[in-house]
């Protein structure tokens, strides 16, 4: 049984010898890679970080900080005032009940702040924003992609917005 020290993350190796009980034996070296423990959400304030692969991270309750890193991630804030960072990949960011900050990053992202006055920043790529609160803010920079805003309420786009018909 290999048991690394608490908090260890990285590569390690150990050498072992086996015996057949009749005088024969063999020695070998085993190499292991130990990753960081997965992020686990609670109903409190959590920090959840994804991996280079595709992740699904759900913050549950509390004011959570959730970062997807690379991959096509699904980040769900839940209740509370959450910060969701998609980073690289085509990400889905859902804020939930509080006043949330959603940043898609590079990729074609889907951003929905949910209930509450949310700030949504798509970043590079062709992003889709779901606006459902009068206090929602859509932030987009010039030449950062062709974005779509869908709204269930009457909503006025901010300055520097371009509309193509």
pLDDT at 2 over 50: yes
Residue ranges of domains in the chain = 1-37, 47-151
Contact 85, 64 (CB under 8 A): no
d(C-alpha 155, C-alpha 137), whole Å: 10
d(C-alpha 135, C-alpha 33), whole Å: 47
pLDDT tens, residue by residue, 98-127: 999 999 999 999 999 999 999 999 999 999
The residue length of the chain stands at: 165
pLDDT tens, residue by residue, 80-104: 999 999 999 999 999 999 999 999 9
Q: Of 7-11, 30-34, 74-78, which one has max mean pLDDT? A: 74-78
Instruction: Tell me the backbone φ, ψ of residue 64, rounded to 5 degrees.
Output: -105, 150
pLDDT category of residue 14 using cuts at 50, 70 and 90: confident
Contact 80, 94 (CB under 8 A): no
Number of H helices, E strands in the chain: 0, 14
d(C-alpha 94, C-alpha 77), whole Å: 6
């Amino acid at each position: 049984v290999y048991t690394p020290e608490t908090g260890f993350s990285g590569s390690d190796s150990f050498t072992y010898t086996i015996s057949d009980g009749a005088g024969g034996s063999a020695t070998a070296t085993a190499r292991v890679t130990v990753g960081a423990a997965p992020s686990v959400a609670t109903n409190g304030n959590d920090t959840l970080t994804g991996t280079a692969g595709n992740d699904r991270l759900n913050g549950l309750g509390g004011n959570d900080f959730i970062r997807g890193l690379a991959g096509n991630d699904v980040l769900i804030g839940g209740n509370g005032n959450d910060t969701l960072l998609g980073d690289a990949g085509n990400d889905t960011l859902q804020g939930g009940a509080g006043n949330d900050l959603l940043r898609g990053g590079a990729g074609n992202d889907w951003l929905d702040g949910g209930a509450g006055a949310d700030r949504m920043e798509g970043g590079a790529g062709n992003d889709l924003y779901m606006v459902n609160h009068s206090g929602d803010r859509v932030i987009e920079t010039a030449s950062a992609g062709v974005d779509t805003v869908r709204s269930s309420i009457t909503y006025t786009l901010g300055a520097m917005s371009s509309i193509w018909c």
